[in-house]
Structure 1
């Protein structure tokens, strides 16, 4: 990512630390286990750099960055439950370690805290803008996750996958920048074009996450997306390119899925799709304010960095 003002990031970290301090001992334990961020603070970078580029108050950008980190952290807790993911940030996830009720309560607290945090924005009209945007984004996340958990992973077509993947991932990528766009009162076409670009970026992120889920495992380990029959880009392409007999065999023999993938060119097909997404984004950059272009480039570079580990995967 490009460089940002270190004092603003430090302020974000202090605000997050304060939000994670609670008197209730159980919730305090769960929050500390979950952790305050993944260390990258990508959404903070997006909010701060966009706010600075658009000439907004540093305080507003800092508070908005904290809000985006809190709601993202909450979404991870609930996603882990829905996806049956047992590991988060290198250790056992909250639901697996303390139970599903603990993870739900922790996520609910972080959602409530994110809304409360907006009241610290100094300009009242900015508060109203950001409250409305946060509420609509949380609803989008819920809609996206609802579609995901009710999807048969072996009958999903690519266009359906794109819609579901975008609905799951795009809102929290768009949120940090859109909040600053709205506060700066940019013209409506900028909002529309930002959402289109973050939809593309969100799709690319989800594809890379799907690659990680299946390829970043021990040789004899069944990836969680296959084990629990979750939506995954690799599986979608398998079922589109394989016979019914092959699909039935793989469904009954989930341990053979990964080797089947590695022996095919499906991974390379997905890498090509990511490259095409990047080309679409670059061709649309002229629709963004000039000051925002480096921020979009930085997101594409982040995706490239994550995807590069799979180029020579065998």
Structure 2
């Protein structure tokens, strides 16, 4: 199976997620308005490549359906988008990605220091935004959750940039992928769970689901790295970053035999003849398995989580057809 670049449809969320989305976008935009000339320019460049606001929609829908204060879930939606944006800026530096959403990345356009400073500012702004919530105990809950989530993301990224991608095994790849992506999928919903004082099986189930979805998300992203969907094609291969496709392919070889694949030309040639059908099937199975625990979530939230899985399944289906 040969893979090629494809497009995606819009991510669907329930009406509750759309009601306050314009407010979230406005507050997010206001967070990018700063006085410093250089930082302002970097933030403007990053902000012009608008995403789908998926994390904001997840926070808005969950908070609304759980009956929380609109102020809390609107601010939390902004926080989730800010921290996601910060992670993208830093991730682009670590992965040496040249493009983000069809535009040059901040580090490529303005330099690595600019991207680091811009990401750091957005992290600081996300914590500040939580302090604007009038319910003090919601502030405490969300500050603690955001702090632990950022630590998990940094841990995953630090391992990602330190491993030997040729010798990395599948078990350790999964740990890295889950740490890098799971928290950002879980964060919008978990924040609202905590504010609703859910602290039992609902949270455990959400964590289990998010870890599987996070792994699947990273796996799909690794496929898109091969086809160059919104990024430099084969950059993981060029820069030696962990990639699920490469790791799965190298599993058939002993550690000694893998050494020959340090030659990029040899690895590229071997992968050009690789059939990706099994990879597609494995991702589909993982996405299906991620829903095993969905019945343990509050009924009103189940459709939101299922929709995340369906959107990812759509992406996989389009790769399979192409």
Please indicate, yes or no, whether the TM-score normalized by the shorter chain is above 0.5.
Answer: yes
Note the aligned Cα RMSD (angstroms).
Answer: 1.9
2:112 matched to 1:103?
Answer: no
Structure 2 Cα separation of the partners of residues 129 and 243 of structure 1 = 47
| Cα distance, 1:244 vs structure 2 | 6.3
Retained in 2: the 8 A contact 1:80–1:93? yes
Aligned residues: 309
**Higher RCO, Cα 8 Å, sep 6+:** 2
Structure 2 Cα separation of the partners of residues 305 and 259 of structure 1 = 29
Per the alignment, residue 4 of structure 2 pairs with: none
2:148 matched to 1:136?
Answer: yes
Per the alignment, residue 263 of structure 1 pairs with: 273
Correspondence 1:4-19 to 2 at 5 A:
4-5=15-16, 6-19=18-31
Partner SS, residue 292 of structure 2: helix
Structure 1 Cα separation of the partners of residues 50 and 320 of structure 2 = 25
2:102 to 85, 90, 104: 90
2:47 to 35, 41, 63: 35
Structure 2 Cα separation of the partners of residues 167 and 34 of structure 1 = 24
1:275 to 278, 281, 284: 284
Residues 261 and 94 of structure 1: CA distance in aligned 2, closer, same or farther (over 3 Å): same
2:158 matched to 1:149?
Answer: no
Structure 2 Cα separation of the partners of residues 66 and 222 of structure 1 = 31
Structure 2 Cα separation of the partners of residues 296 and 196 of structure 1 = 12
Per the alignment, residue 291 of structure 1 pairs with: 300
2:124 matched to 1:112?
Answer: yes
Per the alignment, residue 300 of structure 1 pairs with: 309
TM-score normalized by the length of structure 2:
0.91
Per the alignment, residue 223 of structure 1 pairs with: 234
Partner SS, residue 2 of structure 1: coil
Per the alignment, residue 182 of structure 2 pairs with: 170
Tell me, which stretches of 5 or more residues in structure 2 are unaligned? 1-11
Partner SS, residue 168 of structure 2: coil
Partner SS, residue 282 of structure 1: coil
Tell me, which stretches of 5 or more residues in structure 1 are unaligned? none
Per the alignment, residue 21 of structure 1 pairs with: 33
| Cα distance, 1:258 vs structure 2 | 4.4
